[in-house]
Amino acid sequence: MDEQNITGLEDDIEEYLVFTVDKIDFGIDIGLVQEIIEIQPASPIPNGLDFCSGIINIRGMIVPVLDMRRKLGFQPVEYDDRACIIVILLEAELVGAIVDSVQDVIHISARDLLDSPAISGGEQAYYTSKIASIDGKIRQILNVNAVFDIGNDD
Question: Which residues would be at the binding site for another protein (CB under 8 A)?
Answer: 43-49, 51-52, 55-57, 60, 62-64, 66, 90-91, 93-95, 148-150, 153
CB of residue 119 to another protein, shortest distance in Å: 27
Q: What is the DSSP letter of 102?
A: E
Using the minimum distance from each CB to another protein, give the nearer residue, 24 or 58. 58
Using the minimum distance from each CB to another protein, give the nearer residue, 5 or 152. 152
User: Cα(124)–Cα(147) distance, rounded to whole angstroms?
Assistant: 9
Q: Dihedral sign for Cα 34, 40, 45, 48, please.
A: positive
Identify which of 14, 21, 10, 51 has the alpha carbon closest to the alpha carbon of residue 140.
21
CB of residue 123 to another protein, shortest distance in Å: 16
Give the three-class secondary structure for 116: coil
User: Cα(139)–Cα(109) distance, rounded to whole angstroms?
Assistant: 13
CB of residue 111 to another protein, shortest distance in Å: 34
CB of residue 142 to another protein, shortest distance in Å: 16
Using the minimum distance from each CB to another protein, give the nearer residue, 56 or 83. 56
Using the minimum distance from each CB to another protein, give the nearer residue, 6 or 61. 61
Name every residue whose Cβ is closer than 8 Å to that of residue 79 and which is 6 or more positions away in sequence. 39, 98, 100
Using the minimum distance from each CB to another protein, give the nearer residue, 27 or 64. 64
User: Cα(40)–Cα(65) distance, rounded to whole angstroms?
Assistant: 10
CB of residue 49 to another protein, shortest distance in Å: 6
